[in-house]
């Protein structure tokens, strides 16, 4: 069906129902700045929208549904870490409209003027968001971004590994202590290729704040990482969903909750009624994070970006995303459509006693060079 027909249909539908999944934020032509937008009454959508997200972090059927329903081609690209995203934008990459930074990176990007402002009154599906995830300290009043998915950073391990059967990894020592690592390093250990997450785990293991800017503590974390590094096979946070599952590739990984839960269900055996990948939040504590949907300050398709944002916050769309990614959804209205196996999974929705051990990463501002130096030392060592 031609794009114009879809737009006309959409306008009629909106008039009849008061807006569908993406039908909320209508663009007054006065407010619209979309380059190449086709105008049809209230709604103006651009021909294309460029979306830059974490890898394996959306149900692509929902992207296709958006394209088909609204006649907008989505140019989709992925990044591996908040710092990669930031570097790309700072290098002057223009053309990205919608991006998905985490909590502390939202704060950084606001300070750097990289995010467009939004008004949640223009996003009807924002009402679906659980109030506990709205108005976060890193973006007061959701003046720039809306919540997308949340999770934790822990340890994923193969339940079938004999050593883990006797010694389930319950501490960051399993990632950093050579005495333990030598028991299973030959079977493959992976860490997140992430300049805040890996140092964050080392700092927590050492008993420090993962947001510290104390050079001595950071040096200690760097040395801990350098001692463990020879035992690690890979630094991979992008396609480890696939690589993790290749037999013989990896037996233990630092991992994000949803990716490990996905690995559990991908290896689920109906006969044993169990999967091979378990997830653990180490006893020393771990990081909790919230990824967000934001519009870049350089976007020339602001109205379409806002429209897409509203679409992603629809209850059924939000549930479909969680049913695909296995990450927790901050979308309260989505809960009724989320698979029971996800809602009941404590590795995805941690119980209170685990929540108590979780901390947020926060922006370190001008001191971020300390983390850059640490990361360079880690990545450049042989």
Q: Which residues bind ligand SPD (CB under 6 A)?
A: 54-57, 102, 197, 256, 259, 289, 291
- Minimum Å gap between C-beta 259 and ligand SPD is 5
Q: Which is nearer to ligand SPD, 10 or 105 (CB)?
A: 105
- Provide the H-helix boundaries in 91-212: 103-111, 162-166, 173-176, 178-184, 197-206
* Nearest to 90, CA basis, from 240, 296, 255, 249: 296
- Minimum Å gap between C-beta 324 and ligand SPD is 11
Q: Which is nearer to ligand SPD, 71 or 318 (CB)?
A: 318
- Minimum Å gap between C-beta 79 and ligand SPD is 10
* Nearest to 326, CA basis, from 300, 347, 310: 347
Q: Which is nearer to ligand SPD, 43 or 136 (CB)?
A: 136
Q: Which is nearer to ligand SPD, 84 or 291 (CB)?
A: 291
Q: Which is nearer to ligand SPD, 45 or 244 (CB)?
A: 244
Q: Which residues of 225-248 are buried (b: 16+ CB within 10 A; e: fewer)?
A: beebbebbbbbbbbebbebbeeee
Residue in the structure block whose two tokens are 């989709």: 76
Strands 358-360 and 73-79: unpaired
- Minimum Å gap between C-beta 106 and ligand SPD is 11
For ligand SPD, the nearest residue by Cβ is: 54
Are 251 and 187 in contact, with CB atoms under 8 Å apart?
yes
Distance set, CA 178 to CA 183, 185, 379 (Å): 9, 9, 19
- Minimum Å gap between C-beta 108 and ligand SPD is 12
Are 370 and 364 in contact, with CB atoms under 8 Å apart?
yes
Q: Which is nearer to ligand SPD, 102 or 299 (CB)?
A: 102
- Minimum Å gap between C-beta 85 and ligand SPD is 10
Give the torsion sign (CA, 367, 369, 373, 376): positive
């Amino acid at each position: 069906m031609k794009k114009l027909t879809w737009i006309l249909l959409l306008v009629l539908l909106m008039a009849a129902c008061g807006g569908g999944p993406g039908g909320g934020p209508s663009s007054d032509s006065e407010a619209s700045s979309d380059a190449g937008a086709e105008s049809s009454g209230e709604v103006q959508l651009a021909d294309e929208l460029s979306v830059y997200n974490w890898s394996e972090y959306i149900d692509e059927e929902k992207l296709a549904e958006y394209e088909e329903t609204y006649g907008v081609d989505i140019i989709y690209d992925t990044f591996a870490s908040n710092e990669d995203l930031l570097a790309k934008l700072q290098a002057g990459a223009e053309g990205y409209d919608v991006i998905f930074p985490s909590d502390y990176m939202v704060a950084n990007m606001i300070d750097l003027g990289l995010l467009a402002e939004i008004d949640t009154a223009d996003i009807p599906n924002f009402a679906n968001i659980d109030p506990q995830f709205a108005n976060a300290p890193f973006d007061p009043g959701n003046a720039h971004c809306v919540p997308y998915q949340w999770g934790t950073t822990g340890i994923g391990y193969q339940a079938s590994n004999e050593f883990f059967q006797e010694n389930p990894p319950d501490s960051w020592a399993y990632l950093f202590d050579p005495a333990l690592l030598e028991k299973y390093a030959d079977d493959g250990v992976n860490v997140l290729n992430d300049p805040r997450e890996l140092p964050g785990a080392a700092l927590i293991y050492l008993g420090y704040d993962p947001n510290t800017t104390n050079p001595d503590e950071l040096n200690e974390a760097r040395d801990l990482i350098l001692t463990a590094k020879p035992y690690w096979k890979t630094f991979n946070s992008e396609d480890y969903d696939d690589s993790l599952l290749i037999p013989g590739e990896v037996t233990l990984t630092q991992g994000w909750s949803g990716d490990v839960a996905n690995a559990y269900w991908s290896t689920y055996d109906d006969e044993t009624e169990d999967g091979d990948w378990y997830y653990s939040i180490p006893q020393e504590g771990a990081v909790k994070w919230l990824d967000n949907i934001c519009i870049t300050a350089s976007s020339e398709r602001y109205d379409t970006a806002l429209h897409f944002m509203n679409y992603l916050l629809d209850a059924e769309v939000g549930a479909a995303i969680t049913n695909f990614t296995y990450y927790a959804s901050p979308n309260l209205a989505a809960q009724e459509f989320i698979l029971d196996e996800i809602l009941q999974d404590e590795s995805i929705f941690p119980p209170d006693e685990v929540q108590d051990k979780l901390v947020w990463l926060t922006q370190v501002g001008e001191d971020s060079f300390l983390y850059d130096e640490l990361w360079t030392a880690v990545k450049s060592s042989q």
